[in-house]
Amino acid sequence: MISLTTRQWEYYRDLIFELTNKELKLKYKSSMLGFVWSLLLPFSHALVYFIAFKYILRIKVENYALFLIVGLFVWQWFANSILAGTGAVLSNGNLIKKTKFPYEFLVIAVIISEWLHFILAFVTIFIFLGVYGIPPNTYWVFIPFLMVVQSIMNTGSAFLVASVTVFFRDMVWFINIFLNMFFYLTPIIYPIEMIPDRLRIFIVDANPMALFVALYRQIIIHGTFSYEYFLLAILYSVVIFLFGWWVFAKLKWKFAEVL
Amino acid sequence: MSVRDREIAIEVRNLWKTYVLYHHIVTSFKEVVLHFPRLFKKLRQSRFEVLKDVSFEVRKGEVFGIMGHNGAGKSTLLALIAGVIKPDRGTIKVKGRISPLLELGAGFHPELTGRENIILNGLLLGLTKREIMQRFDKIVEFSELGHFIEEPIRIYSSGMVARLGFSVAVHTDPDILLVDEVLAVGDANFQQKCLRKMEELRNNGVTMVFVSHSRAQMEAICDRIMTIDHGRVVSIEEINRHAEKKTC
């Protein structure tokens, strides 16, 4: 495999650090609440769904608030990575046209920036656990692995949209519609058990996001873990990553010409 | 030792470059759906040959000028040498580390401060942060930006941006410096300072490819000037700099 010298390690570390730093700075420039906004969004959704589903549609799910928070945070991480991915290459045209550097790092920087947001959001979940009086369980050790696997999927998806958007600007619109449909077709605001059996294969088994949301909930709320779902999630994530990476590698040579 | 005997720094052989004008192709979604076959025809029509069979070589330590009217292919040629785009046919061999393409607003992010842009730019050029910080004070000093270095680039004048861009590029110890019209902005004093710096770099054996509209400016600094027209090389002339060296 590729062996890196100490200087190269130092270089790539610096490059990732500075690009991520730039992402975070630009995201919150002249915003007073800054990072708090990225927490308020899923919380406001959670509040609305809670009122609509708990009190109006009378859904029967125990710990529904926690159920929503976990699902929405996991979803938000994925959706934000994709949305940030659409601009990863496009908004850096200035840099790409003037210098030759590994453009992949532009995508990796937005992925790390979104990952940091997710980690901080995740901390608030523990506040809910305290409120509900749910003690920690041994399955929590799987949470970091789950995050790694989802990061792989998020990265692959971001590579895909980052490169395709350069050539097909309408992609941004398409992604908004896609994410909206995908959100309601993924068991986030309703439990898997409510899905009719004949639809489950499409809505759960063929949907990596459904698997991730289910796995986080199993661990945090129920103290269980489905190895079957986990392996399936790894499989999907690796396939999505390789596909996204491949598309990006094919298209990156044309970035400077089109931007 | 004459420049002619030195080793080759940049070798360009039979270079062809065609641009596909993507935004001409997809004008609307309706068109994509309704006129799909026509799209292929259009794809062929919207090709634009920027460079046709371009060959030349630049020796180490030489200052090579490229002249031509707007759209002649000068900037494309620089982008090809910089490696940010790929040729369709032909080869480009470059020996050594290349500076960024120096243009107006060269690779800077408008929302970041001068300081942050220096670091980012240096990294994109291949330096580590430590290596950048070693040169930091020199870069700021040369750019004459003073306390503006802590302000976002968007409030800079075009001259200030050009100064910073030039300063970063020359202080990152490139083997090859690509300069595109950058001296067209900025005051006369700074232009003189840049020309002096380029002279100093030339003496240190740095190779330079220089694009400008100003023939006078080019003759003052270039060893050879290549003229291109509609993507073809028209002439490569030798400049006897020492004969008319009086201004610098």
Listed as ranges, residues in chain A with pLDDT below 70 are: 1-2
- pLDDT (mean) for B49-68: 90
Quick: pLDDT tens for A47-97. Answer: 999 999 989 988 888 889 899 999 999 999 999 999 999 999 998 888 888
Interface test with A, best of B128, B133, B164, B181 (most A CBs within 10 A): B128
If pLDDT is split at 50, 70 and 90, which confidence band does B45 have?
low
The answer to whether position B220 is within a domain reads yes
Cα–Cα nearest to B123, from A255, A6, A100:
A100
Cα–Cα nearest to B172, from B130, B143, B117, B131:
B131
Residues of chain B found within 8 Å of residue A167, distances taken between Cβ atoms: 22
Give CA A77 to chain center in angstroms.
Answer: 3
Contact yes or no for B84 and A99 at CB 8 A: yes
* Chain B: residues touching A (Cβ < 8 Å): 19, 22, 26, 29, 79, 82-86, 98, 100-101, 103, 105-109, 111-112, 116, 119-121, 123-130
CB-CB contact of A155 with A105 (8 Å): no
* Out of A15, A100, A253, closest to residue B123 by CB: A15
Quick: pLDDT tens for B10-32. Answer: 999 999 998 876 655 555 566 66
Contact yes or no for A97 and B128 at CB 8 A: no
DSSP, residue by residue, chain B:
--GGGSPEEEEEEEEEEEEE-HHHH-S-HHHHHHTHHHHHHHHHHTEEEEEEEEEEEEETT-EEEEE-STTSSHHHHHHHHHTSS--SEEEEEE-SPEEEEE-TTTT--TTSBHHHHHHHHHHHTT--HHHHHHHHHHHHHHHT-GGGGGSBGGGS-HHHHHHHHHHHHHHT--SEEEEESGGGSS-HHHHHHHHHHHHHHHHTT-EEEEE-S-HHHHHHH-SEEEEEETTEEEEEEE--GGGG----
Whether the CB of A258 is below 8 Å from some CB of chain B: the reply is: yes
More confident residue, B221 or A184: A184
pLDDT for B111 equals 86
- pLDDT (mean) for B201-229: 86
* Out of B101, B111, B119, closest to residue A26 by CB: B111
* Out of A18, A253, A257, closest to residue B120 by CB: A18
Contact yes or no for B126 and A10 at CB 8 A: no
Number of structural domains (chain B) is 1
Q: What chain A residue is nearest to B180 in terms of C-alpha separation?
A: A98
For A35-104, what is the HEC assignment? Answer: CHHHHHHHHHHHHHHHHHHHHHCCCCCCCHHHHHHHHHHHHHHHHHHHHHHHHHHHCCHHHHHHCCCCCH
More confident residue, B35 or B25: B35
Whether the CB of A250 is below 8 Å from some CB of chain B: the reply is: no
Flag whether pLDDT at B245 surpasses 50. no
* Out of B112, B119, B124, closest to residue A99 by CB: B124
Contact yes or no for A7 and B126 at CB 8 A: no
Whether the CB of A60 is below 8 Å from some CB of chain B: the reply is: no
pLDDT for A181 equals 95
How far does A84 lie from chain B, in Å, by closest CA?
17
CB-CB contact of A213 with A70 (8 Å): yes
How far does A68 lie from chain B, in Å, by closest CA?
37
Residue A254, helix vs strand vs coil: helix
Whether the CB of A101 is below 8 Å from some CB of chain B: the reply is: yes
For residue B163, what are the domain limits? 61-90+97-244
The answer to whether position B53 is within a domain reads no
Contact yes or no for B22 and A18 at CB 8 A: no
Tell me which amino acid residue A88 is: A
Interface test with A, best of B20, B84, B134 (most A CBs within 10 A): B84
The answer to whether position B142 is within a domain reads yes
Strongest mean pLDDT among A217-226, B45-54, B66-75, B190-199: A217-226
How far does A177 lie from chain B, in Å, by closest CA?
16
What is the maximum alpha-carbon separation in chain A? Answer: 61
pLDDT above 70 covers a percentage of chain B that reads 79
Domain ranges of chain A: 6-258
More confident residue, A64 or B188: A64
Residues A54/A58/A63/A66 CA torsion (nearest 10 deg): -40
Q: Rounded CA gap, B83 and A54, in Å?
A: 58
The answer to whether position B45 is within a domain reads no
Q: What chain B residue is nearest to A20 in terms of C-alpha separation?
A: B120
Contact yes or no for B100 and A97 at CB 8 A: no
Contact yes or no for B128 and A256 at CB 8 A: no
Tell me which amino acid residue B102 is: L
* Out of A11, A95, A256, closest to residue B128 by CB: A11
Q: What is the CATH number of the domain that holds B156?
A: 3.40.50.300
Flag whether pLDDT at B146 surpasses 80. yes
Any idea which residue has 């041994």 for tokens?
A138
Residues of chain A found within 8 Å of residue B128, distances taken between Cβ atoms: 7, 10-11, 14
More confident residue, B144 or B184: B144
pLDDT for A135 equals 86
Return mean pLDDT, chain B: 82
If pLDDT is split at 50, 70 and 90, which confidence band does B248 have?
very low
Quick: pLDDT tens for B71-123. Answer: 788 888 888 998 888 899 999 999 888 876 666 556 788 888 999 999 998 88
